[in-house]
Amino acid sequence: MARSIYFFGAGQADGDARQKDLLGGKGAGLAEMTRLGIPVPPGFTITTEVCNAYYAAGKVLPAGVEDEIKAAIGRLESLLDARLGSPDAPLLVSVRSGARASMPGMMDTILNLGLNDEIARGLARRTGSERFALDAYRRFILAYADIVLGVPRERFEDALGRARRQAAARLGVDATLLNAAELERKVPDSLLDPESLAALIQQQKDIVLDATGRPFPEDPYAQLQGAICAVFGSWNNHRAQVYRKMHDIPEAWGTACNIQAMVFGNLGDDSGTGVAFTRDPSTGERRFFGEWLPNAQGEDVVAGVRTPHPLSRSASGSDDDERSLEARMPGAYAELVEVQARLERHFRDMQDLEFTIQQNKLFLLQCRTGKRTGRAAVRIAVEMAKEGLISREEAILRVDPGAIDQLLHPSIDPGAPKKVLARGLPASPGAATGQVVFSADEAERRAGQGKAVILVRSETSPEDIHGMKAARGILTSRGGMTSHAAVVARGMGKSCVAGCSAISVSQGQMTVSLYDDHGHASGTLTVKAGDLITLDGSTGTVYLGAVPTVPATLSGEFGELMVWADAVRRLRVRSNADTPHDARTARNFGAEGIGLCRTEHMFFDEERIEAVREMILAPDEAGRRRALAKLLPFQRGDFVGVFREMAGLPVTIRLLDPPLHEFLPQDEAQLEQLSRTMGVSKRDLERKNEELAEYNPMLGHRGCRLAITSPEIYEMQARAILEAACEVAAAGVEVEPEIMIPLSMTRRELAITRALVERVAEQVFAEKGRRVDYRFGTMIELPRASIMAGELAEEAEFFSFGTNDLTQTTLGISRDDAGRFLGAYVESGVFAKDPFQSLDVPGVGALVEMGRDRGRAARPGLKLGICGEHGGDPSSIAFFERAGLDYVSCSPFRVPIARLAAAQAALSAGSSKGPRATD
């Protein structure tokens, strides 16, 4: 291992912004800011390599690191003229985690480290404030006991409550009916007097002794070592693990640990602390945005106990917010504005900053690329490209295709009747309806039963992460735009309304204070677990009941980004769509054709299913043909609708694929009904049902195998497609039908079905007196189809890889049953990701490449597409680009994601300047 520690301070730093892997995002940002001459309290970063070595050695710091830490502390001491452990000139430090990717609130932080009784007295003398020194000390004991010594916070709550109640009595506040949260609001830390604090500190130490059997550690070096190990240890706490899994952060990265001289935002009214974003993280608007609290320390803003104030005078809508930092500390505010602009220019991206003002002097404590909603990501990328800060290519690469999913989802229908329950902060955009739940566990449980839930809390904490993940939306009564709930919800792309002070949550219900149009209190309403509410995270409004929503549209910056993406991508993007309605949605989202129209979905319609069943159960070919004749006009009508919607674009229609028994009547009533219409006894029908049952239908009588035994089904479908094509062409609409055979694996299967289609085509063209061009092709869904692709290409003019079935048949894992155990496979590292969502490149990908090579060798220019679920998955799309396919096809709502992912893939593969694939 190279060096373990990177120092920063007084304008110089050992590391820089490029070393995120080694120093973590926070450490790299602190080093870079120091280099830029921005005021940063000095300190040092212990590398992520040390964290990994700590784990490798069984949770002990590697040899030599402790000496390096001592040396770095020595450097810090001489720089600041203070000493760790000295009562006369005490050095206090913060110890904070910081991984390569930001994981807000997931790991641990300890502030005010370096205090004991004697040093606290020294600090009181030095700062002239006994109250301040004792408050810092009692906060330190609490955090250290919880994080390092493992004494649960709850054990300290009674003692703190007692101290608050004593203070309340002294201040004449009636505290008898207040719960802990209300009491904290009425009697904040700043109102606890030195005597109560001293008593509280003693009680906290007694609790530590009782819980651990040892006194609270007095030696600052012992404290420091404990804190460093705890920060490394927090890399593997439960919530960090859940977060890593959700965001695909590898365990092997480890966290760095930052030790930094403390500055204090709670030294009086000329001090404060806050967080800021260089642009609005919710909307992406270019405005300096953030929150602060006067006379407060570090985590107070994010903890959401006190509702923070805006930074700028005009931020809250009125032009003169007297609580703003701009109004209260104009000098520090002006410097902060200048620093944030510099940092954004330097890093060429939106930054998330933490700052503290100690007695009017500004310090930056953190600077990192800010988390943002999908909407904000798009706006920021496009505007930065227009401002000339980044190139268009960079703008395309900046937006995570997965994150734009949020933009494609519905928003509240402005015209729908609705009852406003309350208003809070618009913390994370999007509409969400669900049943109210009051705990993360309950959210997870109900979501597991398929229910949509809204998690309602006073304030979320990192322990709630699993519930937030399970919920559709999150509502909190406290906390600001940078509270835990807001930050995490934005990262997850979930709707969130935060700081909704009209609600109060306790004992399994939420009480909402109602106001009339003039803002006067007009009573209360109780919402219980299971009641439906709707959140509009874009406006911060909470509605009672379910409110209708309207679909998303691609306009503004999003539309522009898509145009830029389209200009660089090579892959074409089609959509899987079975109905004219889906086809229209897909086209609106920019689909360049239909890559898969699954005709079986058309069979389930109430009017048709009877005829389908009749066809399946008919005793002979004549009976089957009679039933198919009933289906023909329906199918033709479907195809006319789809061709019209996709005028001028290719439409790939797959002939019937699933095993026939899927269409059979399942219950008594359906059987009786069918027996009446067909004039066949119920017993006979049941017998036929049994005859068709298969042990393994996925590998049974399905796909083109149906056409070998009952060619009349495909004949009817081919006729419906070609008649529809002639009809639409006759109306002057350009049609491009592609007829696709599922589940083939031999040349002979394709030769038979192709002859069938050609025969029907000639009949239809003769009857209609016109010809339309069509293509004949096949899906590649079986390993044998890839292996024999050379022969299949003799018959097929195009291949479409059905990677759902190809994954199933290559891995030998049933796509219907995999859910039960694939989670464990991913967890134990057998697969990095679920292979049904993200293509198994080494395995299934190799078969795609084999199919491509053998197919194109037999038929140069053979058109190649993919229509399995992987067609909408960004990392799979990157592979399809490298593999040189012509198009991907995905569900309508994923089309924009695929367009962006295809552009990114082309930029990464260097193929963006090449010709566009053929359609």
Q: Is 803 in the site for ligand PEP (CB under 6 A)?
A: yes
* CA dihedral over 355, 298, 308, 455, signed as positive or negative: positive
State the Cα–Cα distance between residues 94 and 231, nearest whole angstrom. 11
Q: In a 3-state reduction of DSSP, which class is residue 510?
A: strand
Partner in contact with 189, chosen from ligand PEP, Mg ion, none, beta carbon below 5 to 8 Å by kind: none
Contact residues toward Mg ion (CB under 5 A) are 781, 802, 805
Tell me which of 146, 344, 736, 805 binds ligand PEP, using CB under 6 A: 805
The answer to whether the CB of 594 falls within 8 A of the CB of 650 is: yes
Nearest approach in angstroms of CB 699 to ligand PEP is 12
Partner in contact with 262, chosen from ligand PEP, Mg ion, none, beta carbon below 5 to 8 Å by kind: none
Q: What is the CA radius of gyration of the chain?
A: 33
Q: Quick one: 557 or 582, whose CB is closer to Mg ion?
A: 582
Q: What is the largest CA-CA distance in the chain?
A: 104
The answer to whether the CB of 433 falls within 8 A of the CB of 533 is: yes
Nearest approach in angstroms of CB 788 to Mg ion is 17
Q: By beta-carbon distance, which residue lies closest to Mg ion?
A: 805
Q: Quick one: 624 or 654, whose CB is closer to ligand PEP?
A: 654
Q: Is 746 in the site for ligand PEP (CB under 6 A)?
A: no
Of 362-370, 583-591, 770-778, 798-806, the segment contacting ligand PEP by CB under 6 A is 798-806
The single residue listed with the structure tokens 């053929």 is 918
Partner in contact with 119, chosen from ligand PEP, Mg ion, none, beta carbon below 5 to 8 Å by kind: none
Tell me which of 236, 509, 804, 838 binds ligand PEP, using CB under 6 A: 804
Nearest approach in angstroms of CB 445 to Mg ion is 34
Please return the burial class of 601, using the count of CB atoms within 10 Å of its CB with bins 0-12, 13-18 and 19+: middle
Q: Quick one: 674 or 743, whose CB is closer to ligand PEP?
A: 743
Which parts of 638-677 interact with ligand PEP (CB under 6 A)? 657
Of 90-98, 320-328, 800-808, 823-831, the segment contacting ligand PEP by CB under 6 A is 800-808
Partner in contact with 868, chosen from Mg ion, ligand PEP, none, beta carbon below 5 to 8 Å by kind: ligand PEP
Token digits of residue 62: 């590697």
Q: Quick one: 168 or 740, whose CB is closer to Mg ion?
A: 740
Tell me which of 32, 108, 727, 781 binds ligand PEP, using CB under 6 A: 781
Token digits of residue 824: 């464990």
What residues are paired with 527 via a beta bridge? 510
Phi, psi dihedral angles at 791 (to 5 degrees)? -70, -40
Catalytic residue ranges: 484, 867
| Geometric angle at alpha carbon 568, from 562 and 574, rounded to 5° | 60
The answer to whether the CB of 745 falls within 8 A of the CB of 788 is: yes
Q: Quick one: 715 or 869, whose CB is closer to ligand PEP?
A: 869
Nearest approach in angstroms of CB 768 to ligand PEP is 30
Q: Quick one: 326 or 781, whose CB is closer to Mg ion?
A: 781
State the Cα–Cα distance between residues 669 and 656, nearest whole angstrom. 26
Token digits of residue 756: 């069938």
Of 379-387, 415-423, 712-720, 803-811, the segment contacting ligand PEP by CB under 6 A is 803-811
Nearest approach in angstroms of CB 404 to ligand PEP is 23
Partner in contact with 380, chosen from Mg ion, ligand PEP, none, beta carbon below 5 to 8 Å by kind: none
**By 3-state DSSP, what share of the chain in percent is helix, strand and coil, each rounded to 5?**
50, 20, 35
Nearest approach in angstroms of CB 158 to ligand PEP is 59
Residue 391 DSSP symbol:
-
Which parts of 824-843 interact with ligand PEP (CB under 6 A)? none
Q: In a 3-state reduction of DSSP, which class is residue 584?
A: helix
Partner in contact with 598, chosen from ligand PEP, Mg ion, none, beta carbon below 5 to 8 Å by kind: ligand PEP
Partner in contact with 596, chosen from ligand PEP, Mg ion, none, beta carbon below 5 to 8 Å by kind: ligand PEP
Partner in contact with 109, chosen from Mg ion, ligand PEP, none, beta carbon below 5 to 8 Å by kind: none
Nearest approach in angstroms of CB 541 to Mg ion is 43
Of 894, 904, 185, give the one whose Cα is nearest residue 568: 904
Q: Is 802 in the site for ligand PEP (CB under 6 A)?
A: yes
The answer to whether the CB of 659 falls within 8 A of the CB of 694 is: yes
Nearest approach in angstroms of CB 787 to ligand PEP is 17
What residues are paired with 775 via a beta bridge? 738
Q: Quick one: 118 or 816, whose CB is closer to ligand PEP?
A: 816
Token digits of residue 606: 């109430």
State the Cα–Cα distance between residues 440 and 431, nearest whole angstrom. 20
Q: Quick one: 512 or 839, whose CB is closer to ligand PEP?
A: 839
Instruction: Provide CB contacts within 8 A for 96, sequence distance 6+.
Output: 26, 109, 110, 231, 257, 258, 260
Q: Quick one: 326 or 781, whose CB is closer to ligand PEP?
A: 781
**Residues touching ligand PEP, count (CB under 6 A):** 10
Q: Is 705 in the site for ligand PEP (CB under 6 A)?
A: no
Partner in contact with 682, chosen from ligand PEP, Mg ion, none, beta carbon below 5 to 8 Å by kind: none
Q: Quick one: 358 or 800, whose CB is closer to Mg ion?
A: 800
The single residue listed with the structure tokens 């912004």 is 17
Nearest approach in angstroms of CB 870 to ligand PEP is 8
State the Cα–Cα distance between residues 851 and 783, nearest whole angstrom. 9
Nearest approach in angstroms of CB 229 to Mg ion is 52
> What Å distances lie between residue 408 and 229, 494, 636, CA to CA?
44, 13, 31
Token digits of residue 688: 């036929």
The single residue listed with the structure tokens 């953190």 is 366
Q: Is 868 in the site for ligand PEP (CB under 6 A)?
A: yes
Q: How far is CA 56 from the centre of its chain?
A: 31
Q: Is 741 in the site for ligand PEP (CB under 6 A)?
A: no
Q: Is 598 in the site for ligand PEP (CB under 6 A)?
A: yes
Instruction: Provide CB contacts within 8 A for 904, sequence distance 6+.
Output: 396, 397, 401, 565, 874, 878
Q: Quick one: 738 or 805, whose CB is closer to ligand PEP?
A: 805
Of 146-154, 414-422, 517-525, 797-805, the segment contacting ligand PEP by CB under 6 A is 797-805
Partner in contact with 835, chosen from ligand PEP, Mg ion, none, beta carbon below 5 to 8 Å by kind: none
State the Cα–Cα distance between residues 216 and 223, nearest whole angstrom. 9
State the Cα–Cα distance between residues 255 and 7, nearest whole angstrom. 17
State the Cα–Cα distance between residues 708 and 756, nearest whole angstrom. 10
Q: Which residues bind ligand PEP (CB under 6 A)?
A: 596, 598, 657, 781, 802-805, 867-868
